[in-house]
Chains A and B, each alone.
Chain A
Amino acid sequence: MRIREHPILEFERGREVEFDFDGRRLCGHEGETIAAALHASGVRVLRKSIRHGRPRGFFCAIGRCSSCLMTVDGVPNVMTCVTPLRRGMKVETQTGKGTLAAEAKGAGSIAGDGSGSDLGTVPLAIVGAGPAGLSAAVYAGRLGVESVVVDENEVPGGQLIKQTHMFFGSLEHYARVRGVDIGTQLCRELEKCPSKLLTGTTVLGLYTDDPPWKTLSLMKNGVRGELRARTVVLATGASENMLAFENCDLPGVYGAGAVQTLMNVYGVAPGERVLMVGAGNIGLIVGYQLLQAAVDVAAVIDAMDEIGGYHVHAAKIRRMGVPILTSHTILSAGGTDRVERATISRVDSDWQPVEGTERTIDVDTICLAVGLTPNCELASMAGCDDEYVPELGGLVSAHDADLETSVPGVFIAGDASGIEEASTAMLEGRLAGLAAVERLEVEVDREKLLAMKEEAASGLSELRAGPFGDRPRLGKERMLALAASRGGDR
């Protein structure tokens, strides 16, 4: 199940190591996650659920959903989708909740320079090293403002590190460059800036009870730390939506992001034949990426009566013979401890299944690409107001045209402020970074600052001007109106 030849990617795998899985000796590559190594060896069931003992595999592959908890070297509840494999590890299927050894960790330092757990203060802290966060750091940096960028992933780039396709947009904004390469280019830009990147570091909390300071509580490898910042840009991206259907928790039902991580980061094919649920851009693109990894795509289905994504993405998979079935939904997944088949049916205009149109197809993987929800937990913890704006993906922190939330000095940008694209995320990150600099009231070339902000804002309007930009444009307009009606005094 390892991908040996790929048209876009070359996989740099660590050395081959042996590990133990429920008493069996398996091989994997050092540095890949435990879940990826198990998947490559054909193991899909990672745990049994706590009450009903149902088999569970991974689902999100980015440490968010808890589906992949296993007992590793005697320690239960280890998130195997983000824990790197090491030689000789003893990995066990976990049943129930597991009992936790409360051993205190706490040696080492987050910054990696022996500075201990207090990381001091910084004018600007940025959470998330995706296109939005990196752009915020780069543009603040161009005005000489120091920043710290924190990302829980070991590799910076956010979603970009999984995107093998060329991006749309304008040539000035990385169009025709592959997503993976945009990430690398942004990181190179960052190196020229007075910015520090902390990878593999999770922001656990954000506290704003000591204005103007914001305190970020950080964790890296079980070591906790604290960073205080005058301004914060939250560029935490989005999480995938779940869809409920019969047996939706069966191993082999994976989020599109998980499929991408497995396939494009670790070079492990998610299965042999996939049903893709969702014909938006993500479903269409991941469908194409599966074909590039020599995985068969049985069909792409969507409950809407039209394809949500760009025609060009649909055309790429159609001409390879993949059917796109609009007005279709998934009713159930079948199989004993892994997906063996899926039953789909037509839906009527109220999205209700039409009886007699059920069809069962043999697939070993069901990939869900049914939308994203902005990650605004940190903003909520910090006390930022939120608004429910469906066009932006649901509950989003209220923000103004400068992307500032209801808490002065806390900004939100990219998918976290409304689901859009990398191209808009970069511009929003830029704008938020610049607005944060403005908030800081430090000595900068003000004219230059305002010109740069204006450039970012007009770039955003241009990108949102087409029919596919309608939704986010309306969402942003609604958000501005809501935010204005709430906080007139700001």
Chain B
Amino acid sequence: MTERRRDGVLREAEMGPVVPSAERLARGPVVIVECVENIPCNPCVAACPKGAIAIRGDINDTPVVDFETCDGCRVCISACPGLAIFAVDATGDPALVSIPYEFRPLPETGEIVTTLDREGAESGEGKVVRVLSAKALDRTPIVTIEVPKNLAMRVRHFRRKPDRGGTS
């Protein structure tokens, strides 16, 4: 049994196929689909306008991203019922991480937030650069934050600072 089944934290060892190469990451934005279990689910496939996500066998297979076709457009993020899709743009430093965020109140652009990793541990600060909450996202807004490039593959959530009156 993997440690993940025991504590719910995805570790690098299991992330092989999920993560694009360093070269690809440096070339442009891309999505990271952190969906590693065989569960019956497929909306991400249809959500991608480029056809970059495939589920090869039956509906229980894990999605595979064609990193050459994916341009990190983020349309799939709000389509994932597991909120397991993130987008990373590591072409510069700071890098940009886009996160599905179903909490209220939403952060504001320019706000400094505390960034959290997959275990919920604080990993530093990030600046909110975009908040998408269009109707088409069906109540799963996407928040993009600037984080140090070396944390781009670690930051997966954030907490609003208490003095902003937010809750999470």
Interface centre among B35, B104, B117 (most CB of A within 10 A): B104
Stretch in A47-55, A317-325, A398-406, A474-482 touching the partner:
A317-325
Residues of A within 8 A of B82 (CB): 168, 310, 312-313, 315-316
A389 within 8 A of B: no
- Of A22-30, A82-90, A101-109, A171-179, the one touching chain B: A171-179
- Bitwise, B115-158 to A at CB < 8 A (1) or not (0) is 01111110000000000000000111000000000000000110
**In the complex, what's the smallest C-beta–C-beta distance from A469 to chain B, in angstroms?**
7
B115 to chain A, nearest CB (A): 10
**Which residues of chain B are near A318, meaning CB under 8 Å?**
7-9, 118-120
Q: Is A305 an interface residue (CB 8 A)?
A: yes
Name the B residues within 8 Å of A324 (CB-CB).
Answer: 7-8
Known contacts A8-B139, A320-B116: does B7 contact A326 (CB below 8 Å)?
yes
- On chain B, the residues within 8 Å of A165 by CB distance are 81
CA distance A318 to B10 in the complex (A): 10
Given contacts A171-B42, A319-B120, A463-B40, A7 and B35 within 8 Å (CB-CB): no
Q: Is A423 an interface residue, CB under 8 A from the partner?
A: yes
Given contacts A318-B9, A319-B119, contact A292 B103 (CB under 8 A): yes
Instruction: Say yes or no: B103 contacts A465, CB within 8 Å.
Output: no
A126 to chain B, nearest CB (A): 26
Within 8 A of B (CB), among A417-470: 423, 462-463, 465-469
Chain B residue with the shortest CB-CB distance to A467: B38
Contacts A168-B81, A311-B4, A324-B7 known; A291 to B103 CB distance under 8 Å? yes
Name the distance in Å between B2's Cβ and chain A's nearest Cβ: 9
Give the residues in chain B near A312, CB-CB below 8 Å: 34-35, 37, 39, 81-84
Say whether A469 contacts B60, CB under 8 Å: yes
Q: Which residues of A contact B68 (CB under 8 A)?
A: none
Q: With A176-B79, A306-B5 known to touch, is A170 a contact of B42 (CB < 8 Å)?
A: yes
Chain B residues lying within 8 Å of A167, measured Cβ to Cβ, are 81
Tell whether, in the assembled complex, residue A291 and residue B7 are in contact, meaning their CB atoms are under 8 Å apart: no
Does chain A have a CB within 8 A of B91? no
Q: Is the CB of A319 within 8 A of B117?
A: yes
Asked whether any CB of chain B lies closer than 8 Å to the CB of A376, the reply is: no
Report how far A208 CA is from B66 CA in the complex, Å: 58
* Nearest chain A CB to B120 CB, angstrom units: 3
Does B110 have its Cβ within 8 Å of any Cβ on chain A? no
In angstroms, Cα B42 to Cα A176, docked, is 9
Residues of A within 8 A of B9 (CB): 315, 318
How many residues of chain A are within 8 Å of chain B by beta carbon?
44
Q: Which residues of A contact B104 (CB under 8 A)?
A: 5-7
A175 touches B118 (CB 8 A): no
- Interface residues as binary, B5-27 with A (CB distance below 8 Å gives 1, 0 otherwise): 11111100000000000000000
- B166 nearest CB neighbor, chain A only: A294
Complex interface residues of chain A between 1 and 19 (CB less than 8 A to chain B): 5-8
For the complex, give the distance between the alpha carbons of A183 and B94 in Å.
44
The winner among A292, A321, A468 for most chain B CB atoms within 10 A is A321
Residues of B contacting A321 with CB < 8 Å?
Answer: 116, 119-121, 159
Q: How far is the CB of A227 from chain B (nearest CB, A)?
A: 36
Instruction: Kindly list the 5 A-B residue pairs having the minimum CB-CB distance in the complex, ordered from nearest.
Output: A312-B82, A466-B60, A321-B120, A314-B8, A166-B81
A-B contact pairs, 28 of them (CB 8 A): A7-B104, A8-B102, A168-B40, A169-B40, A169-B41, A170-B42, A175-B41, A175-B43, A176-B47, A176-B81, A291-B103, A292-B103, A311-B4, A312-B37, A314-B8, A315-B9, A315-B84, A316-B82, A316-B83, A318-B8, A320-B120, A320-B168, A321-B120, A462-B40, A462-B58, A467-B60, A469-B40, A469-B60
Residue numbers of A with Cβ under 8 A of B are: 5-8, 165-171, 175-176, 178, 291-292, 294, 305-307, 310-324, 326, 423, 462-463, 465-469
Excluding A312-B35, A318-B8, 15 further A-B contacts by CB distance (< 8 Å) are A7-B139, A166-B140, A168-B82, A170-B59, A171-B46, A175-B42, A176-B47, A292-B102, A312-B82, A315-B34, A320-B120, A323-B7, A326-B7, A465-B60, A467-B60
